[in-house]
Structure 1
Amino acid sequence: MIPLRTSGRRRSAVTVFAVLCALLTWCAVPVSAAPQWGPPAPPNPYLGPPGTSTMHGDAGSTDVTPLPGPGTGPHSLSAYPLVSACPTLLQGSDRLVVALCTAVAGQVPTAHLIDPAAPAAPFGRSLARVELAKGSLLGGVYAFLDNDNRLVVVDGNRQLLRLGHSKDSAGTWRLTVDSTVDLSGSVPPGDNVTGLTPDWNGNVWFATAGGVIGAVDRTGVAHARPLPAGEQVHNSISSSPAGTAVATTHALYQLSLRGNDIHLDWRRDYDRGGARNPGQLSWGTGSTPTYFGPSTGSDFVAIVDNAQPRANLRVFHTESGEEVCTVPVLTDPGGSENSPVGVGNSVYVAGTYGYPYPAVPEGAGPAGPASAPFDGGMTRVDIDPIGCHEVWSNDVRSAAVPRLSTGDGHLYTVIREGPAVATPFDGFAFAVIDPADGSIEHTSPLPGTAVNDTLQMSGLVTDTGDFWQGTVTGILRIRAE
């Protein structure tokens, strides 16, 4: 909660009256009040289309799209069996989908170019594909499409690549390396880039698992600074017109590039708990920072901490780093490996405590406890005149990063079905949730069991209203019939 500010020695009666009115107004709002979307942040001019150019939709990692999805059904289902886990699904202005996947055999990162208008399985295939140098488990996962529809990614050789696509003289599609920036002078041997995003000036920011933050300016020169000893980065990073947000295993930072200097705008510690939670991939927050807000679209920035036994949503003012609120969310015990969904005054948090990841990054450390039931749960928190308050919580067992469509007013995800103690025989279903009250509006079962595990990966709403979801073996496409 934000304390009431004083002016001089006494608060004025007008100020107190205004706050009381605000409180009374908030108290009168029903729990199921429809969220107010507010204006989005201005599009980043160095990214592809809003909602489809980053894993989390946009530069601010809102997990919000302006595109309407497939709605409440009925739905048809198609599959792209790529024999790969596909966490990054992006669509450019040319309407082609670029998927960054990790092959099951050898865990080699591979970029696929897919025509969403072509039939899916059994006839669907990649138009083109290219393998990248292998890095760590999370290295090379986060990438984005730039304003020329090129995939921007850092490979395991510490090279910042821009991969374009075009047809050759024979009419065959190819993925080609259009440009390369060597980051080996900034990223130490054995380290890997885990977070990547452009800012509003065209600088490409990166963060490494080992604790280096840097930016490649528009001339191709890399600037970097180390984090304090012991701090690591295991999620992606986000940007807004005000700066770039990086969540480490200890703190949330906002930074900016000033000349050749990576400038620290502000830093805020958070409660990282006593150990890694089961269902999380590192000891610390599982959040890619989320910029959101009702006025500029990036008034605030939020993460979920790793407090135990119950995690908190932490919200800060973007410009100053001043705390807006700390609010307990999800179950007890509980935690989240997912980036919060943020739009207007509302934030949506999905729980991953106990999710059965098949592997964790090297050096993640033991979980405490070693395992736990996957209870899931989601919580909506709204910003109010004096802080924040919980609007609703549900028991939805989200198995993917939810995606909110302001185009149709639905919250889309995939849920895990089965006993609380997850098994390889659990089923999965596409779910449509009402963001006003957290109720499930519709579910469509997905075929198979473990082969279609969505492993807390992000979905994509395409410009035709289809919902694409990565799984451990490929991609599923859900379409309105």
Structure 2
Amino acid sequence: MSMFNVAENRRSVGTHRLPFLVLSTAVVTVAAAGGAFAAPVSATPPPPIANTQDPSAGADFVGSPAAARPLPPKPVMRPQVSGVHGDSGNTKVYDGPAPLGTDLQVTSMAGTGGPILPFPLPDGRMTAIQLNASDVSVQAISAVDPTTMAVLASWTAPEGQKLNGYMYQRADGAILATSKQGHVYVLQRTDTAQKTVITLKRDIDLASMGVLDPSETLHSAAFDADGGIWFVTGAVTGASAQTATTTTVGHIDEDGGARVVHLKDQVVENGFAVKNTTAYIVTGPAGAADHANAEGHMYAFGPGGGKSPRILWQQAYDSGSATKPGGLSRGSGSTPTLLGSQYVAITDNADQQSNILVYRQKAARGGGSQLVCSVPLGAKNVNSSNDNGMIGYVANGVASLVAQNTYNQPVIDPSTGINGSWNDESVMTGGMQRVDVTPDGRCVTKWNNPVQMRGVPAMSTSTGLVYGSAVDPKLAAEGTYVWYTEAIDFRTGKTVWKKRVGAGGTYNDIGMVVGLGKDGTLYSPVLGGVVSVKDGAAKR
């Protein structure tokens, strides 16, 4: 779950995988498109993001440039899409170049009302979701220039439809979006030397088809590898006013027919993963199931041949007794992460200390347990929780996860002032942890780094580094918020370097997901827009 929590009307507001916050008129989040980027840039690039505090309070650069230590490429995921967590398996791993820390160049680009969140594919084009400031809903999808974020073309949702934050795009330019009112939209982005256009190809009205419960809100949808579409209803329990106590999981065939299954006293609070035609979905407790020592459920669904998708397997996990301090989800706070073709991982919400859980992707023989292994999140007996998806990587027979402890992360509340204490991430328990699943099925913690990081990191196999955004904790405790892009060695867990990007609340990453572009540019979404970081001329 990439997330952020925003105080609004005495409650937190956000989305599990695409966090948005309105400052003025619109929020832009970006996902990569397929095909060659050929359209001319005619729109005016946005201005830089203003610092709202003095950035010179913190060091410009800490550490030393790294030498690239490449890792084997990540396993190929099918379907091949660009999404919030990088790919259909939510791995947040990129095989392309990324900054090593040499003569780093930092550029900021202001959003018209908030963050710009890039999800690059290898060809580098980008497609943006724009947020309506008046009601915190996404109202337009735009093609943007990957360097300047200037808008090239837009598609606006029909009147009365409020788009959800999740969007996926295939290499052929097909874009998948959904509305809270129950519509699934398939768009097509087309780029030529003359222009870029985004057109509506399909509008599937699930609400009119009667497949959704009236109390439910369509939450997200994802392509499968055979032309079908998975969808779920739901909401983030700690970040919305939703009252539904059921979840609908459904699959849409290429002809538009929908098969659904209704899950009572459960709610989807996260994104989900897809491998080939199988959807991996995690739910938290709701309704009568929401009590002390509650259980959530992890599922694998197949399309099925009848009226309902087929439950390939399901297993309960510990959802504890309540949403934890700073948390958004009543159950697991993590979007499922696929580890190659063997495992799928989430975190639970066990009281006091959460756990990292690793399951088999395929159904266990004889109806046995799907759980392969588990390990506590964080150091021994520490309070821990996780509201982010994990990095997932497989090489040489070893599956690895990188997880964060986001316990007690502050509720984002700019209404108290852009430089208010909601920026103080030093109050988080913090910690980043690498866990390996050994060939014999044991979960082993390889390292812990004490970094206090709310945002969702990403990894480059070309550099062997994990990248994320964090505030200087010592300065933050004193009320000065200087923000850095940090690079952590995947092998050792040591922080290699930190580069200052800006200061004040406009540079708060608000739980957004780092993206890595085709040319080695790192994109760090922040409240005021997006920051790009790349190696300078000395590297080239």
TM-score, length basis structure 2: 0.72
2:430 aligned with 1:376, yes or no? yes
Distance apart, 1:417 and its partner CA: 2.3
SS in 2 for 1:271: strand
Q: Distance in 2 between matches of 1:423 and 1:326?
A: 38
Given candidates 248, 255, 265, the residue that maps to 1:219 is 255
2:78 aligned with 1:44, yes or no? yes
Q: Distance in 1 between matches of 2:103 and 2:161?
A: 41
Q: Distance in 1 between matches of 2:524 and 2:389?
A: 16
Quick check: 1:87–1:457 contact (8 Å CA) kept in 2?
Answer: no
Cα gap change, 1:225 to 1:86, in 2 (>3 Å): farther
SS in 1 for 2:506: helix
**1:34-433 alignment to 2 at 5 Å?**
40-45=74-79, 47-48=80-81, 53-86=82-115, 88-92=117-121, 95-109=124-138, 110-117=140-147, 120=148, 125-132=150-157, 140-166=164-190, 171-184=194-207, 185-209=210-234, 210=244, 211-227=247-263, 229-241=264-276, 243-249=278-284, 250-260=296-306, 261-292=308-339, 297-320=340-363, 322-331=370-379, 332-344=382-394, 345-358=399-412, 373-384=427-438, 385-418=440-473, 425-433=480-488
Quick check: 1:88–1:101 contact (8 Å CA) kept in 2?
Answer: no
Unaligned runs of 5+ in 1: 1-33, 360-370
Cα gap change, 1:405 to 1:221, in 2 (>3 Å): same
Cα gap change, 1:128 to 1:241, in 2 (>3 Å): closer
Q: Distance in 1 between matches of 2:297 and 2:359?
A: 12
Cα gap change, 1:199 to 1:87, in 2 (>3 Å): farther
> Residues 284-330 of structure 1, C-alpha deviation per residue, up to 9 Å, x if partnerless?
111110110xxxx2200000111121110000111125211110012
Cα gap change, 1:406 to 1:135, in 2 (>3 Å): farther
Unaligned runs of 5+ in 2: 1-67, 235-243, 285-295, 365-369, 414-424
Q: Distance in 2 between matches of 1:96 and 1:221?
A: 32
SS in 2 for 1:401: coil
Matching residue's letter, 1:116: P
Quick check: 1:427–1:448 contact (8 Å CA) kept in 2?
Answer: yes
Cα gap change, 1:187 to 1:479, in 2 (>3 Å): farther
Distance apart, 1:463 and its partner CA: 0.8
1:479 matched residue in structure 2: 534
TM-score, length basis structure 1: 0.80
Quick check: 1:373–1:420 contact (8 Å CA) kept in 2?
Answer: no
Q: Distance in 1 between matches of 2:345 and 2:477?
A: 29
Distance apart, 1:353 and its partner CA: 1.2
Q: Distance in 2 between matches of 1:245 and 1:395?
A: 30
Distance apart, 1:419 and its partner CA: 5.1
Distance apart, 1:415 and its partner CA: 1.1
> Residues 413-468 of structure 1, C-alpha deviation per residue, up to 9 Å, x if partnerless?
11122359879752221011101121111111121321122111112111111111
Deviation larger for 389-398 or 79-88: 79-88
Aligned length: 419
Matching residue's letter, 1:128: A
SS in 2 for 1:400: coil
Distance apart, 1:196 and its partner CA: 2.5
Q: Identity over aligned residues, as a percent?
A: 24
